[in-house]
Structure 1
Amino acid sequence: MPRPALRSRSLRRIYVKLPSGKTAIHYERKKNDISKCAMCKKPLHGVKTNFLHKYGKSEKRPERPFGGYLCSSCLAQLIKAMVRQ
């Protein structure tokens, strides 16, 4: 049985075939999903997803209004709509 820290489902299991023919299980941290725009659901560019503790706040997402939440094209549409009202 694996040690308690490895029983968590937050780690993904990778089955590795050893030269002896046995199968070993390697445990690896799961990767996060890519951030998507809230309006059009396209992947956001310039938004980091994994190991965020290594980066500062300005490196994790774009420094503009709604950065990390809306893509630039949807933001442009939103600003135009707000100005036209």
Structure 2
Amino acid sequence: MPTKSDRRKHRVYRKSAKETRLVVKSGKATTMECALCKDMLHGVPHGKKTNALKKLSKTQRRPSVPFAGILCGNCREMVAIETIKVVTNQKKMPQVELRIQPYVKQLQASVN
């Protein structure tokens, strides 16, 4: 009987002269998307098998910038600009858009 994780995987039957075997294949990893705008993240590997992604080093899996692998470049820039406005007292935290407040707080904590 297959395990629960094998039930979702693609099943292929391999036929030989001796027997017909069931081969369970794992699918490819989905493309990673931005947490705010749901756009595809660049600089992050996609379209590879999940076990191939695990074998990559951390620097190959994602870029080494703040919020890499979470936010796209445009959203990351928007969060940085809002953080600068909050740090320089041009804007107060309640005036910042609600969906980007957690990222602004996190970046503000790393700046201070």
TM-score by length of 2: 0.56
Equivalents in 2 of 1:53, 1:33: separation in Å? 14
SS of 2:7's equivalent? coil
Could you say which residue in structure 2 is the equivalent of 1:57?
Answer: 58
Could you say which residue in structure 1 is the equivalent of 2:99?
Answer: none
> Please, which of 26, 31, 34 is the counterpart of residue 29 of structure 1?
26
How far does residue 79 in structure 1 lie from its aligned partner after superposition? 0.4
The code of the aligned residue for 1:77 comes to: M
How many residues get paired? 76
Cα 1:4–1:13, aligned 2, differ >3 Å: closer, same or farther? closer
Q: Would you say the 8 A contact 2:13–2:23 is kept in 1?
A: yes
Whose RCO is larger (CA < 8 A, sep 6+)?
A: 1
Equivalents in 2 of 1:57, 1:36: separation in Å? 18
Q: Would you say the 8 A contact 2:6–2:24 is kept in 1?
A: no
**Which structure shows the bigger proportion of residues in helix conformation?**
2
Q: What runs of 5+ residues in structure 2 fail to find an aligned partner?
A: 16-20, 87-112
Could you say which residue in structure 1 is the equivalent of 2:10?
Answer: 12
Q: Would you say the 8 A contact 1:10–1:30 is kept in 2?
A: no
